[in-house]
Amino acid sequence: MHINSKLPNVGTTIFTVMSALATEHKAVNLGQGFPDYPMSEELVALVNDVMKRGFNQYVPMQGYPPLREVLAEKIQSLYTTVVNPDTQITITPGGTYAIYTALTAVLQPGDEVIIFEPAYDSYIPNVEINGAVPVLIDLKFPDYKIDWGEVRQKLTPKTRMIMLNSPHNPTGAVLGEDDIKQLRSIVKDTNIFILSDEVYEHLVFDNVPHQSILRYPDLLERSFVCFSFGKVYHCTGWKLGYCVSAPEMMKEFRKVHQFNCFSCHTPSQVALATFIKNKDSYLSLGAFMQEKRDYFQQLMRQTKFTPLASHGSYFQLYKYDRISDEGDKDFAIRLTKEKAVATIPVSVFYKAGTDNKVIRFCFAKKKETLDAAVERLSKLNI
């Protein structure tokens, strides 16, 4: 049977390749972005409890109502914006799904979508499968800021959406107030949608406020804002998240969602509805992850790697120019094979493979894991 592929350019991702290499070489895996420490025991106990109490059937398509209510309360308390839990929030099986659903709800063939690179690997395929066209703009190395002048130059009458990600994977960059100002002036009086990927919400360091689109009701009117419970509550395998949008946009989002997933895992939603009532469950997350960043950065001083700034997320980029002048893929593969430490080369987050000779480390790991990795890296003589 012949399939005329909708995604002819998509192959096996580097994450699969690096994870297989990591297993083969018994490497410490600082490549893929998932925690290796236990998630909250309290949350696990809550899920167990609600399952025993019989919360095991479908919830409404939009998500378990008390969870949406508690999220609306949280949004108001953090960002002062009032959102309606019935019409503006939908629970999804993860952030990636929320992004795909939002794009599928609004994109028409030939629409242009501005994507900043390096970019999370689902964005370009998600745009292309909808027949739309990615318009790629590089974030400016080495601090990975958006050049808004370049954004203005790339706007055309076909520009349908701008995709943002803060805190940013893979760079750990975050948007500032000035970025929001620029964004606002660019989209004003246009039909441009915004997709804001905020799956690392709360994981922002050094007391800098997270510039969520939810802070800005005028921007929320044209935005899909996507979140991930898995990423922030250290349970990536749960694949649960949510999307917040304007009521009319959310109607279209739900049309796609209801014939794809329909409703998400009930016990996790019921448990989260209780867990999130305690504000400390999310207010403590930034400091928790910052401590990991600082611990890792301090350890890495024993090595010849040079850090770039990480302001949020699970990740920090490091230059290796004092060790090697190899391309980043070759270097990362050799590091896995010879030193048994797996990382991700940043060039894989660019369609054109742009290589600034930096690799990504995930520091959302136990101290023992970070210790073991850095011990191997400090003995680098390659």
**Which positions lie near ligand PLP, rule CB under 6 A?**
33, 94-96, 120, 165, 169, 197, 199, 228, 230-231, 236, 239, 241
**Smallest distance from the beta carbon of 313 to ligand PLP, in angstroms?**
7
**Smallest distance from the beta carbon of 229 to ligand PLP, in angstroms?**
7
Cβ distance to ligand PLP smaller for residue 88 or 236: 236
**Smallest distance from the beta carbon of 237 to ligand PLP, in angstroms?**
9
**Smallest distance from the beta carbon of 321 to ligand PLP, in angstroms?**
26
Q: What angle do CA 200, 336, 10 make, to 5 degrees?
A: 60
Instruction: Show the beta-strand stretches assigned E in 129-284.
Output: 133-138, 159-165, 193-197, 223-228, 241-245
- Reference 265, options 237, 285, 244, 243; nearest CA is 237
- Reference 355, options 380, 336, 329; nearest CA is 329
Other CB atoms within 10 Å distance of the CB of residue 189: 6
**Smallest distance from the beta carbon of 94 to ligand PLP, in angstroms?**
3
Cβ distance to ligand PLP smaller for residue 5 or 12: 12
Cβ distance to ligand PLP smaller for residue 228 or 369: 228
- Written as six digits, the tokens of 373 are 């990795």
Other CB atoms within 10 Å distance of the CB of residue 183: 23
Cβ distance to ligand PLP smaller for residue 118 or 339: 118
- Reference 361, options 286, 308, 282; nearest CA is 308
CB 352 within 8 A of CB 332: no
CB 165 within 8 A of CB 228: no
Residue position matching structure tokens 């479908």? 58
**Smallest distance from the beta carbon of 120 to ligand PLP, in angstroms?**
4
Cα(263)–Cα(218) distance, integer angstroms: 29
Compute the CA torsion angle 268, 269, 271, 274 (nearest 10 deg): 160
- What is 103-172 written as a DSSP string? HHHH--TT-EEEEEES--TTHHHHHHTTT-EEEEEE-BTTTTB--HHHHHHH--TTEEEEEEESSPTTT-
Q: What angle do CA 35, 363, 74 make, to 5 degrees?
A: 60
**Smallest distance from the beta carbon of 101 to ligand PLP, in angstroms?**
11
**Smallest distance from the beta carbon of 13 to ligand PLP, in angstroms?**
11
